[in-house]
Amino acid sequence: MKNYWRTGEPCVWATGAALAITLLIAATLIVVVMINGLGVFWPSSLERLELKDGTVVLGEQIQREAAYQSEGFRRQYKVANRDLYGLDFKWVDEADIAFSSRPEDAIVLEREEYGNFFGFLKQLNLGSLDIPGTMSQYDALLAANAQIHEMKVSGKKLDEDISALSYQLESLRRKLLKAEYQGVSAKAPVVLELQRSQAVLQDDFHHLVERQGREVAQMRNFTAIFSDANGQERDIVLADIVDAYQPNRMGIAQKGLFYLVKVKELIIGEPRESNTEGGLFPAIFGTIMLIFIMSLFSFPLGVIAAVYLREYAKEGMIVRLVRIAVNNLAGIPSIVYGIFGLGFFVYGIGSTIDQLFFPETLPTPTFGTGGILWASLTLALLTVPVVIVSTEEALGAIPREIREGSLALGSTKFQTLMRILLPMASPGIMTGLILAMARAAGEVAPLMITGVVKLAPALPIDGNFPFLHLDRKFMHLGFHIFDIGFQSPNVEAAKPMVFVTTLLLVLIVLTMSSIAIYLRNRMKKRYTFGTF
Amino acid sequence: MNTAATMQIEDPIIEVDNLDFYYGKSKALHGINIGFPRRKVTAMIGPSGCGKSTLLRCFNRMNDLIDISEVQGKILLNGADVNAPSTDVIELRRRVGMVFQKSNPFPKSIYENVIYGLRIAGIKNKAVLDETVERSLKGAALWDEVKERLHTSALGLSGGQMQRLCIARAIAVNPEVILMDEPCSALDPKSTARVEELIGELCEDYTIIIVTHNMQQAARVSTHTAFLYEGNLVEFGMTKEIFMKPRKKQTEDYITGRFG
C-alpha cells in the first residue's frame, strides 16, 4: 500500500481524470452546439392534433418532457402564425390529445414578416400572372412564387442602382458642404456645376424610386388565401412569401436537398425579421474582415516589438519590467480595451481626422464614430501581447550556436535575424498569430463600443469608390449571437438562429486556425527536417 | 608575473601580447603571451574552465557578444590589432573562421549552408557560388557523400557530416585562420577520425587553432601545443616536446592524468 502512494499511482489517475474532464466539457459544448445548430434547417413534419376540447393544433414538435404535477408527458409544438396567435409555441398535454395525423397538404410558408405560417392553401388570386389552369393549386403557388422571385431579383438591381445613386448624391452633398465651408461663393462655377449634377442625379433618383414603388405595388397584387388548422383564413401577399413547402410530402432526398439550399441561403443571404431569420452573410463577412484587418496590424507590430525586446534591448531591469508588463497586458479584461479604443481611437484619433479632413460635415462624424477600422485596431491592441510573447519565446528557443555560427561567418546581426532567426522562429510566430486570431474572433465586448451594429446598411467593401470603407459600421457573428439571443423581441423563436450562428462562429474560428496550423506545420517541417 | 615556459615563434600569424580578459569582475585570462605559427595546427589543452575557449573566442571577437566582457592587452592578426576601433569585426570574422563544439548547420539546404558566407557578402554570381560549393565540400571531404543531394536539407545529415559541413562553410569564405572549439567532442570515434584526417589536410592552406579536451587528439593532429591552467598559459611548445618531456610540473601532471 505504501508503495502505491510512493510510485505516484494516484497522481497518474488524477492527471488522467483532469484531462478527461476537460475533454468531456469541451466535447459537450461542441456536441450541444452541433445538435442544436445542425438540426435547424431540417424540414420537420407537421402534425395535426385534435384536442379533447375540440381545438385543433397544427405544428412541429420541438420537445417532449414529463408533465408538471400530473401523469404522463407534455409536448411543445411550434405552431407559428405569430400574426394570428401572438405566440409561436404551444404546450400540449399528451392526455389531452384525442387524435393526431400528418395531413399531406399541410403547408409551411416562410414569410418576410411575422415568421412562418403553418396551414392550408385555400385559394389563389394570381391576376395577370401566366399560370396554366391545369396545374394543381400548390404547383400553381410554386410557379407564381418563382415568377415573383424573378421580379424580386430585377427589383434588387433597381435597389442597387438606387443605393449607388444615393451614395453619389451623398458625396455630392459633401462636396457642396465642403465648398460652402471653404467659403466658395454660391455663384462660383464649381458650385453651380455641382448643383446642376446634383439636380440631375436627384431627378434620376426620384425616377427610380417611383419606378420601384410601381413595381412593388404591382407585385403586391398577387395574393393567396390560407387557412390555419382551425379554419381561420388569412390573405397573404405572395411577395411576402420567401419559400413555401409541404414537409409531409417530402422524402428524405427532397428534405436533404432542401436542407442544403437553406444552408446556402444562410451563408450568402441577408438577415430578416430583426436578424432572427434569413442569412448571415454580412455578419460572416464582418467577422472575417475584422480578424483580417486586426492581423494586418497586430502581426507586424508584435513581431517587430518582440525582435527588439529579445535581440536588441539590453537585458536588465527595464527589459524585465517591460516583459512583465506585456505578459500582464494579455490578461486585461477586453472591455477595458474597448473603452480605451473608444476614447483613444474613436474620440481621439477619429475626431482629429474629422476635424482635419472632413470639417464640412461636422457635427456628423465620419471617422469620429465607431467603425471597422477602430474595432480592428482595438482588437490588434488586445492581441499584440500574445504575438509578442510567442515571438519572443520562439526567438529565445533558437540555440546560441546557430546565432554564433552565423555571426562567425561574418554576418551582421541584422543579416542573422533576417536570414536565420526569423525563418527559424516562424512556426512559433505562427502559433502566436493563431492564438491571437482565435482570441480576436471570440471577442464581443470591445466591439460593442467601437463599431459593431445589429444591422449594417452596407458592407465595408462595395462597388462604390474607394471600395474599401473602413469608417463603416459592421456586423459580427459574436455580437449577432448576443443580440438575437438576448435582445430580440421573440427570444424563443430566435433560439435556432442562436445555435446556428454559434456553430458558424465556431466553424469559422476552426477553419482559420486549421489553415494557420497547416501553414505552421509546413514551416516546421521546412526548418527542422525533410527536403526543400 | 608570467613564468610560462613558452617557445618563440618566428613570423606568427596571431600574436597575443599580455592579454587579460574579464567576465565582469572575474578575471578569466591572466597576461597571456603567445604566438601562433602560420599554416600549422596548434592545439590548446587544459582542464575545463582554464580559459582556452575564451582565448580562442578572442581571436574573432566572439566574446563581443557577451555584454560584460572586457579585453586588455593586444591581439595582432598579421600585425594588425584585432581589438582596435578601426578594425571591421565583420571583415575580421571573414578572415578568422570558426567551427563550434556542437555542429550548427542552418536549417537550409546543404548548398545554401556552404555559400552562406558568400550570400551575406552579396555575391550572386551562380558560377562563383557553384564553384565555391564544390571546392569547399571537396576541401571538407564531404563532396562525394552529398553531391547528389546538394539541395536537400542540411539537417538530414549525420553528426559527422554536419560537422564537416560546418568546416566547409568556414573554408568557403577563404579564411586565413580556422578556430576549432572542441570540434569532435560530440562525434563518434569514426567521425572523429575523419575530421582529424581532414584537419591534417587543411593545414596545408590554413592556420588551425584547435581547442580540445582529448590529449590523444592533440598529440595526433597538432604540431604545436599550448597548455593553459586557471587562466594562465603554463607551457607552449612543439607537441612532441610537451608530451614527451614537459618542462613544467603542472603540464606533466595534467598529461599523465594526475588531475583534470
What pLDDT score was predicted for residue A300? Answer: 94
Q: Which helix (H) or strand (E) holds B126?
A: helix B126-139
Q: Which helix (H) or strand (E) holds A483?
A: helix A477-486
In B117-156, the residues whose Cβ lies within 8 Å of chain A are 117, 119-121, 151-153, 155-156
Contact A529 B156 (CB under 8 A): yes
Q: Which helix (H) or strand (E) holds B21?
A: strand B14-23
Q: Tell me the shortest Cα–Cα distance from B228 to chain A, in angstroms.
A: 24
B106, B151, B170 member nearest A532 (Cβ)? B151
pLDDT digits (tens, 9 = 90+) for B129-165: 999 999 999 888 889 989 899 998 888 888 889 998 9
- Which positions in chain B touch A527 (Cβ < 8 Å)? 107
Q: Which of B7, B4, B3 is nearest to B240 (CA)?
A: B7
pLDDT digits (tens, 9 = 90+) for A272-306: 777 777 888 999 999 989 999 999 999 999 999 99
Chain A positions touching chain B (beta carbons under 8 Å): 314-315, 399, 401-402, 404-412, 415, 419-420, 423-424, 526-532
- Which positions in chain A touch B166 (Cβ < 8 Å)? 405
pLDDT band, residue A406 (cuts 50/70/90): very high
pLDDT digits (tens, 9 = 90+) for A508-519: 888 888 888 888
pLDDT at B46 over 60: yes
Distances (CA, A) of A347 to A11, A284, A339, A444, A451: 54, 27, 11, 20, 12
Summarize the confidence of residues A329-350 as an average pLDDT: 89
- Lowest mean pLDDT, pick from A21-35, A454-468, B51-65, B123-137: A454-468
What pLDDT score was predicted for residue B4? Answer: 62
pLDDT digits (tens, 9 = 90+) for A56-75: 889 988 888 887 777 788 88
SS3 readout for B163-197: HHHHHHHHHHCCCCEEEEECCCCCCCHHHHHHHHH
What pLDDT score was predicted for residue A307? Answer: 94
Contact B173 A410 (CB under 8 A): yes
- Which positions in chain A touch B65 (Cβ < 8 Å)? 404, 407
Summarize the confidence of residues B172-193 as an average pLDDT: 88
Q: Does domain B5-255 have CATH number 3.40.50.300?
A: yes
Distances (CA, A) of B204 to B169, B176, B198: 18, 11, 11
Q: Which of A338, A369, A342, A340 is nearest to A353 (CA)?
A: A369
pLDDT band, residue A451 (cuts 50/70/90): confident
Range of A454-458, A486-490, B160-164 with top mean pLDDT = B160-164
Asked if A80 and A86 count as a contact pair (C-beta separation under 8 A), the reply is: no
Contact B166 A529 (CB under 8 A): no
pLDDT at A526 over 60: yes
pLDDT band, residue A530 (cuts 50/70/90): very low
What pLDDT score was predicted for residue A19? Answer: 96
pLDDT at B253 over 50: yes
Residue A406: which region, alpha, beta or left (left: phi > 0; alpha: psi -120 to 50)?
alpha
What pLDDT score was predicted for residue A532? Answer: 40
What pLDDT score was predicted for residue A461? Answer: 79
Summarize the confidence of residues A478-503 as an average pLDDT: 85
What pLDDT score was predicted for residue A528? Answer: 66
* Residue type at position A332: I
Residue A418, C-alpha cell as written in the block = 533576417
What pLDDT score was predicted for residue A158? Answer: 84
Quickly count: other Cβ atoms within 10 Å of residue A76's Cβ. Answer: 17
A65: buried, middle or exposed (CB in 10 Å: 19+, 13-18, 0-12)?
A: exposed
Check the CA dihedral A252-A257-A258-A264 and report its sign.
Answer: positive
Summarize the confidence of residues A325-349 as an average pLDDT: 89
pLDDT digits (tens, 9 = 90+) for A226-269: 888 888 888 888 888 888 888 888 888 999 999 999 889 888 88
- Which positions in chain A touch B94 (Cβ < 8 Å)? 409-410
pLDDT at B2 over 50: no
Contacts for A513 with CB less than 8 Å, ≥ 6 apart: A434, A437, A438
pLDDT at A327 over 50: yes
pLDDT digits (tens, 9 = 90+) for A457-475: 778 877 777 777 888 888 8
A378: buried, middle or exposed (CB in 10 Å: 19+, 13-18, 0-12)?
A: buried
| Three-class SS state of A521 | helix
Q: Is the bond preceding A363 in cis, omega lying within 30 degrees of 0?
A: yes
- Which positions in chain B touch A529 (Cβ < 8 Å)? 153, 155-156
A430: buried, middle or exposed (CB in 10 Å: 19+, 13-18, 0-12)?
A: buried
pLDDT at A352 over 80: yes
pLDDT digits (tens, 9 = 90+) for A355-393: 888 777 777 777 778 888 999 999 999 999 999 999 999
Range of A123-127, A457-461, A476-480 with top mean pLDDT = A476-480
Contacts for A18 with CB less than 8 Å, ≥ 6 apart: none
B91, B100, B156 member nearest A404 (Cβ)? B100
Contact B119 A529 (CB under 8 A): no
pLDDT band, residue B3 (cuts 50/70/90): low
User: How far is A210 from A111, CA to CA, in rounded Å?
Assistant: 25
Contact B156 A528 (CB under 8 A): no
Name the more confident of A20 and A439.
A20
pLDDT band, residue A531 (cuts 50/70/90): very low
For chain B, domain boundaries: 5-255
Q: Which helix (H) or strand (E) holds B81?
A: strand B80-81
User: How far is A92 from A64, CA to CA, in rounded Å?
Assistant: 9
Over pLDDT 70: what percentage of chain A? 98
Longest dimension (CA), chain A: 102
Name the more confident of B84 and A361.
B84
- Which positions in chain A touch B100 (Cβ < 8 Å)? 401, 404-405, 408
DSSP state of B154: G
Average pLDDT of the residues of chain A: 86
Distances (CA, A) of B100 to A409, B150, B250: 12, 22, 28
pLDDT band, residue A3 (cuts 50/70/90): confident
ipTM: 0.88
In B176-215, the residues whose Cβ lies within 8 Å of chain A are none
- Which positions in chain A touch B169 (Cβ < 8 Å)? 405, 409
pLDDT digits (tens, 9 = 90+) for A80-106: 888 888 888 888 888 888 888 888 889
- Which positions in chain B touch A526 (Cβ < 8 Å)? 107
Mutation target vs A (from B91, B108, B178; most A CBs, 10 A cutoff): B108
User: Which string of DSSP letters, residue by residue, matches A390-445?
Assistant: HHHHHHHTS-HHHHHHHHHTT--HHHHIIIIIHHHHHHHHHHHHHHHHHHHHH--H
